[in-house]
Amino acid sequence: MRKITWSLCKREWRRILFDPRLSSLILLVPFIYAFLFGGVYGAGSVKHIPIVIVDQDHSRLSREITTALGASESLSIYGTVNAPENFLPLVRQEAAYACVVIPEHFERDVLGGRKAKVAVIQDGSNLLAGNVSSRAINSVLMTYRVGISAEELSYGGMTAKAAASAALPIEPVLRAPFNPAFNFSLFILMGLICIVAQQVIRMGSSISLLLDEVDELWSGLDEPAPSVGTVFIAKVVATAALVLPMACVAIVIPFALFGNPLRGSGALLFTVLTIYMFTQIFIGYGYSSFFRSPVGVTQLHLFMSPILFVLSGFTWPAYAMPHWLRPIAYCTPAFHMNSVLRKVALDGAGPGLLRTHLLALLAYLLISVPWAYYAVWKQLARTERAGFPLRRARAVWMRS
Amino acid sequence: MTNTVLRIAMREWKWILENHRKFYLVLVAPLVCVAILGFVYSPKKVMGVPVLIVDQDHSALSRELSRAILASETFSLGGYSDSSEEFPALVAQDRVHLCLIFPHNLEKDVRARREAKVQVILDASNILSGNAQAMSASNVLATFAVGVEVRTIEGETGIPGALAVNHAMPIETGMRAWFNPGFSSNYLNFLMIGLLTIYVQLAGLVVSAGAGVHEYRETRGNALAALTRNPWAFVAGKVLAYVAVIYPISMIVVYMPHLFFGAPMRGSQVTLALVTLWFTAMLVTVGYALSCVLADELFATEICALITLPNFLLSGFTWPIFAMPPLLRGLAYGLPMYSYSFIYRKLSVMGASAEDCLRQMTILSLWTVLAALFARYGTKQIVKANREVEHAHA
- The backbone torsions φ and ψ at residue B93, rounded to the nearest 5 degrees and listed phi first, read -90, 5
Mean pLDDT across B242-263: 88
Mean pLDDT across A227-235: 85
| pLDDT above 50 (res B272) | yes
| pLDDT above 90 (res B270) | yes
Mean pLDDT across B360-370: 93
Which chain A residues are within 8 Å of B174, Cβ to Cβ? 117-120
**pLDDT tier at A396, thresholds 50, 70, 90:** very low
Between B127-157 and A160-167, two packed helices, what is the crossing angle to 10 degrees?
130
pTM for the predicted model, two decimal places: 0.78
What does the pLDDT look like over B28-66, one tens digit per residue?
A: 878 887 788 778 777 777 788 889 999 998 988 888 888
Q: What Rg value do the Cα atoms of chain B yield, rounded?
A: 30
What's the confidence (pLDDT) of residue A399? 47
Count of C-beta atoms within a 10 Å radius of residue A337? 28
Q: Taking CA atoms, what residue in A is nearest to B210?
A: A295
**pLDDT tier at A142, thresholds 50, 70, 90:** confident
Question: Would you call B175 an interface residue with chain A, using a CB distance cutoff of 8 Å?
Answer: yes
Which chain A residues are within 8 Å of B148, Cβ to Cβ? 169-170
Q: What Rg value do the Cα atoms of chain A yield, rounded?
A: 30
DSSP per-residue string spanning A117-147: EEEEEEETTSHHHHHHHHHHHHHHHHHHHHH
Which chain A residues are within 8 Å of B166, Cβ to Cβ? 113-115
What's the confidence (pLDDT) of residue A281? 95
What's the confidence (pLDDT) of residue B372? 95
Q: Taking CA atoms, what residue in B is nearest to A183?
A: B127
Closest C-alpha to A272, from A185, A190, A189, A177: A190
What's the confidence (pLDDT) of residue A1? 64
Q: Taking CA atoms, what residue in A is nearest to B297?
A: A295
Q: CB–CB of B190 and A127 under 8 A?
A: yes
Closest C-alpha to B231, from B390, B386, B373, B391: B373
Better-predicted residue by pLDDT, A175 or A201? A201
Which chain B residues are within 8 Å of A144, Cβ to Cβ? 171
Better-predicted residue by pLDDT, A217 or A26? A26
Question: Would you call A147 an interface residue with chain B, using a CB distance cutoff of 8 Å?
Answer: no
Number of residues that this document lists for chain A: 400
What's the confidence (pLDDT) of residue A169? 56
Mean pLDDT across A214-219: 52
Q: What residue type is B231 in one-letter code?
A: P
Q: CB–CB of B33 and A88 under 8 A?
A: no
B 149-168 residues inside an 8 A Cβ radius of A:
149, 152-153, 156-157, 159, 163, 165-168
Question: Would you call A152 an interface residue with chain B, using a CB distance cutoff of 8 Å?
Answer: yes
Listed range (A323-337, A386-400, B192-206, B279-293) with the worst mean pLDDT: A386-400
What's the confidence (pLDDT) of residue A152? 64
- Mean pLDDT score across all residues of chain B: 81
Secondary structure of B332-357 in the HEC alphabet? Answer: HHHCHHHHHHHHHHHHHCCCCCHHHH
DSSP per-residue string spanning B269-331: HHHHHHHHHHHHHHHHHHHHHHHHHH--HHHHHHHHHHHHTTHHHHTTSSS-GGGS-HHHHHH
What does the pLDDT look like over B303-312, one tens digit per residue?
A: 888 777 777 7
Choosing among A110, A265, A303, A341, which should be mutated to test the B contact, i.e. which has the most B CBs within 10 A?
Answer: A303
Q: What residue type is B127 in one-letter code?
A: I
d(CA B223, CA B242): 19
Question: Would you call B345 an interface residue with chain A, using a CB distance cutoff of 8 Å?
Answer: yes
Q: CB–CB of B186 and A130 under 8 A?
A: no
| pLDDT above 60 (res A277) | yes
Q: Which of B113, B131, B345 sits opposite A162 (nearest CB)?
A: B113
C-alpha pair distances (Å), B30 with each of A69, A310, B27: 44, 15, 7
Question: Would you call B77 an interface residue with chain A, using a CB distance cutoff of 8 Å?
Answer: no
* Residues above pLDDT 90, as percent of chain B: 15
DSSP per-residue string spanning A326-353: HHHHHT-HHHHHHHHHHIIIII---TTT
What's the confidence (pLDDT) of residue A173? 64
CATH of domain B49-168: 3.40.1710
Distance from CA of B213 to the nearest CA of A (A): 13
Where do the domains of chain A lie, and which CATH numbers do they carry? 2-42+184-399 (no CATH), 49-167 (3.40.1710.10)
C-alpha pair distances (Å), B227 with each of A41, A166, A278, B214, B231: 51, 87, 51, 15, 10
Q: What residue type is B147 in one-letter code?
A: G
What does the pLDDT look like over B333-350, one tens digit per residue?
A: 888 888 898 899 888 888
Listed range (B54-58, B90-94, B240-244) with the worst mean pLDDT: B90-94
* Residues above pLDDT 70, as percent of chain B: 86
What's the confidence (pLDDT) of residue A143? 78
| pLDDT above 70 (res B22) | no
- Cβ-Cβ contacts under 8 Å for A112 (sequence gap 6 or more): none
| pLDDT above 90 (res A285) | yes
Q: CB–CB of B88 and A177 under 8 A?
A: yes
- The backbone torsions φ and ψ at residue B212, rounded to the nearest 5 degrees and listed phi first, read -90, -30
Mean pLDDT across B149-154: 65
Q: Taking CA atoms, what residue in B is nearest to A171?
A: B117
Q: CB–CB of B22 and A134 under 8 A?
A: no
| pLDDT above 90 (res A282) | yes
Instruction: Given the cut 0.85, state whether the ipTM is greater than it.
Output: no
Listed range (A126-140, A264-278, A307-321, B158-172) with the worst mean pLDDT: B158-172
H helices within chain B, ranges in order?
A: 2-18, 21-40, 60-71, 87-92, 106-111, 127-157, 161-168, 187-208, 224-227, 231-260, 269-294, 297-308, 311-314, 326-334, 336-348, 358-393
Mean pLDDT across B172-197: 68
Instruction: For chain B, give every domain's residue range.
Output: 2-42+186-393, 49-168
**pLDDT tier at A225, thresholds 50, 70, 90:** low
To 5 degrees, how large is the angle CA B385–CA B388–CA B391? 155
Listed range (A4-13, B75-84, B277-286) with the worst mean pLDDT: A4-13
What's the confidence (pLDDT) of residue B161? 61
Looking at the DSSP bridge assignments, the partners of residue B313 are none
Q: CB–CB of A118 and B119 under 8 A?
A: no
Highest mean pLDDT among A178-192, B133-147, B197-211: B197-211
**pLDDT tier at B176, thresholds 50, 70, 90:** low
CA atoms within 13 A on the CB side of B21: 5
| pLDDT above 50 (res A137) | yes
- Mean pLDDT score across all residues of chain A: 80
What's the confidence (pLDDT) of residue A397? 43
**pLDDT tier at A398, thresholds 50, 70, 90:** very low
Listed range (A13-22, A160-169, B365-374) with the worst mean pLDDT: A160-169
| pLDDT above 80 (res A264) | yes
A and B: number of Cβ contacts within 8 A: 366
User: Which residue pairs from B380-388 have beta carbons closer than 8 angstroms and sit at least 24 positions apart in sequence?
Assistant: B380/B231, B381/B292, B381/B293, B381/B295, B382/B212, B382/B215, B382/B216, B382/B224, B382/B292, B383/B224, B383/B225, B383/B231, B385/B216, B385/B295, B386/B215, B386/B216, B386/B218, B386/B223, B386/B224, B386/B225, B387/B225
Mean pLDDT across B223-232: 75
Mean pLDDT across B94-100: 85
d(CA A289, CA B351): 47
To 5 degrees, how large is the angle CA B204–CA B206–CA B210? 115
Distance from CA of A392 to the nearest CA of B (A): 33
Q: CB–CB of B323 and A145 under 8 A?
A: no
**pLDDT tier at A361, thresholds 50, 70, 90:** very high
To 5 degrees, how large is the angle CA A9–CA A15–CA A19? 150
